[in-house]
Structure 1
Amino acid sequence: LENLENEFYKAVLGTSAVPAQNDAFTTVRGQIPAPAQEAVQLIQTHEQQHVDFIRAAIEGAGATAPNITADDFDFTGGNGSNDGPFAAATTDLDVLLLTTQAFEDTGVRAYKGQIPLLLDNSGNAAADAVLEAACRIETVEGRHASKIRRIRRQRTPGLTAIRHSGYVLGGGLDAAGVGGISLPAAAVAALTAVYAGEENTIQVVWNGTQELRIDTANLPNTDVIGDAARKLAAGQIAFDAPLTREQVITIVRDFIKDDPTRGLP
């Protein structure tokens, strides 16, 4: 996923090692305002750092990091056809920003789903360092997604499904904030999968003795938030919901060209 995001941004910026990937985004690249381009450049820098860290962590654990290149991706979601459901992201800035937002939100939820597997109570300093870094990367992905949402809202002030704050509100397609963007059915289904379950308000916390289930939409002493609808919204935006490994693979698999000999996707 980090490789996908990193190479996606390189192609958008025109810095991919694969000329065809750069060429594909030529039209939309000319539509990106300078401030937004600066934001995308910074996000790409972060994604490269994430890729480098994860590769080092994998190799540090004695495993072999996958050798994935820019040519392994189809950023239209067409599994190698380069004419998938997100093909409009190469020519339409609004679709590009929506696709970018979806990638980043998938990243946030993917990390949240896998971070518990990194917990190590043995006192292993290296393992603890990886855990801390993963938690930090999750928050960076969240800030990326928030920035893109704010850019989208500034472009389309009437798009109230996207909040000025940058938070995700609700779940499913509503949370994507599609607005008036026309999308093929496959893209709608993909976005629905990205945000499925984000409306959840039940959180599991550890109180030092046991796990507790807390409904963040019905906490005591929260009348200052407002009525039940406002409390529900607050409960939804307060936490990102995790995605399972299987859900993440389903979301990203068509952005990766099939290559069974290398185990892709």
Structure 2
Amino acid sequence: MNIFSIIEEIEKVDPEFQDRISPRRDAIKNITSFGSKVAVAALPFALGALFKKAYGQTTVGDVNGTLNFALKLEYLEAAFYNTALNTPGLIPAADLAAFQTIAAHENAHVSFLKAVLGSAAVTQTSQGTAGVYDWTAGGTLPNYFATKDYTTFLIVANAFEDTGVRAYKGQAPFIIGNQTVLTAALNIHSVEARHASHIRTIRRKAGNGTTPKSWITGANDTGFAGIAANYAGEDNTMQGGVDVSALINPVTGAKFSASACTEAFDEPLTYAQVLPLVQPFGVK
């Protein structure tokens, strides 16, 4: 375990991490100077204490800001699926139950986040135009609801879910000091990942082909160039300071392929990266 590599990875999603832990670096160095067995045994406790101290001072305002950001994304997704379900002829009968389930999940996420935030929750009507979103993203997408274009609807759903997964991952460091909220956010994160995988499966079935896979491969693998920014960084093969593409597959004896490397790890998106992706739809 290379804790400094771990810290480098955390810095990617929390640029202020070095400032948070600077008074505690000597403690880490002291631990790593002990005998190997003692150091290995102590590392989990040291890291736990480090993170608790580094993030334990997260203010209610910070947590609320993170949760409101999540709520804005959930408002968008819930409205997206609610609109789809209220558009007769868009979703084939064979896929209808799946999207009813996904919509129910997104609406439950909205209700949960509003309950946690209470009076601090942003309102849905503050988004878009009095709560109405622009599903064409300012004209960059066709009006797939009006034309009942199921193919484009699936691509947009694919992008929303993949982006949501990465957004939750990117916000986790900012609520690490609140274990209750962090646990709930991670629970939502895993469900969003299941949504993304299932929608990719529906797309693959609809096209009677082998793509897209149920997980992200490389950078934009959706086949739609207009959402490439949603997948920025997904072609990264460096994990924890290790170039995964240089590692040897113990089964084949060969290096892992670039596709396998990028599929095996997911990348976070920061608030600054996510906001431009959803603003064209009306997220503020």
* Amino acid corresponding to residue 223 of structure 1 in structure 2: P
Query: What residue number does 2:166 align with?
Result: 109
Query: What residue number does 1:143 align with?
Result: 194
Query: What residue number does 1:185 align with?
Result: none
Which of residues 159, 162, 165 in structure 1 aligns to 2:212?
162
Query: What residue number does 1:72 align with?
Result: 132
Any stretches of 5+ residues in structure 1 without a counterpart?
15-25, 79-83, 121-126, 179-187, 205-212, 257-263
The answer to whether the 8 A contact 1:199-1:236 is kept is: yes
Other structure's SS at 1:72 match: coil
Query: What residue number does 1:45 align with?
Result: 104
Q: For the residues of structure 1 that align with 2:91 and 2:132, how far apart are their CA atoms?
A: 25
Q: CA deviation at 1:227?
A: 4.2
**Number of aligned positions between the proteins:** 206
The answer to whether the 8 A contact 2:172-2:182 is kept is: yes
| Shift in alpha-carbon separation, 1:215–1:40, aligned structure 2, 3 A | same
TM-score by length of 1: 0.72
| Shift in alpha-carbon separation, 1:157–1:223, aligned structure 2, 3 A | farther
Other structure's SS at 1:87 match: coil
Q: How does 1:207-222 map to 2 (within 5 A)?
A: 213-220=241-248, 222=249
What is the Cα-based RMSD across aligned positions, in Å?
2.0
Q: How does 1:58-137 map to 2 (within 5 A)?
A: 58-59=117-118, 64-69=120-125, 71-78=131-138, 84-90=139-145, 91=147, 92-120=149-177, 127-137=178-188
Other structure's SS at 2:257 match: helix
Moved more, 49-58 or 110-119: 49-58
1:5 matched to 2:65: no
The answer to whether the 8 A contact 1:198-1:236 is kept is: yes
The answer to whether the 8 A contact 1:111-1:138 is kept is: yes
* Amino acid corresponding to residue 156 of structure 1 in structure 2: G
More helix by share: 2
Query: What residue number does 2:250 align with?
Result: 223
The answer to whether the 8 A contact 2:219-2:232 is kept is: yes
| Shift in alpha-carbon separation, 1:147–1:214, aligned structure 2, 3 A | same
Cα offsets for 1:193-235 (capped at 9, x unmatched): 111111112223xxxxxxxx23333335x2325744x532221
Other structure's SS at 1:75 match: coil
* Amino acid corresponding to residue 97 of structure 2 in structure 1: E
Q: For the residues of structure 2 that align with 1:217 and 1:136, how far apart are their CA atoms?
A: 30
Q: CA deviation at 1:237?
A: 0.8
Q: How does 1:182-221 map to 2 (within 5 A)?
A: 188-189=225-226, 191-204=227-240, 213-220=241-248
Give the % identical residues: 43
| Shift in alpha-carbon separation, 1:139–1:226, aligned structure 2, 3 A | farther
